Amino acid sequence: MPEWGYSFEAYDPTTMVRASGRELRISPKAAREVCAAIKGMMLEEAKEFLRNVIAKRVAVPYRRYKKKLPHRRGLGGAGRYPVKAASKILKVLENAEANAEYKGFDIEKLRIIHASAYPGARIRRYMPRAFGRATRWFETLTHVEVVLEEVK
């Protein structure tokens, strides 16, 4: 079994709690944009935001991966509704909330201070084609990390 670390360096166990989702079958690009959108939000606000994204009521602003992407109402820029990524990141947030509850933190005072997503392993597949050729058909898995801090 691999031993996973965290990219967040300044972790203080007395005031912070963390959770991670490893090798999730979601797009790394969509996960990165969702994490950028929820970073800095309070926990309940972020959970409500992700539920609205899943219901396609609120779009996630895309800042990096936005070539040929249409504008969305209320954003003033490019955006999408990454439902699959939002649902997986919501589960990671709920895991972090459960960890905070176990540690005895006040759930109402938790703020997301770190949320990141980066590519993980690849599922390598090949699709047979005509005349003995093959086409690569790879799927990149995603790691997601969330760190919450109790605000005074």
Q: What is the pTM of this model?
A: 0.92
Residue for token digits 């970073």?
39
CATH topology of domain 17-150: Ribosomal Protein L22; Chain A (3.90.470)
Partners of 80 in beta bridges = 60
Q: Where are the domains of the chain?
A: 17-150
**Phi, psi of 74, deg, nearest 5:** 90, -10
pLDDT along the chain (152 residues), means of 10: 85 95 96 97 97 96 92 90 98 97 96 97 96 96 97 90
Residue 29 has a CB neighbour count (10 Å cut-off) of 18
Residue 49 is predicted with a pLDDT of 97
- Long-range contacts (CB closer than 8 Å, 24 or more residues apart) made by 10-14: 11/147
Query: Residue with structure tokens 């990671």?
Result: 92
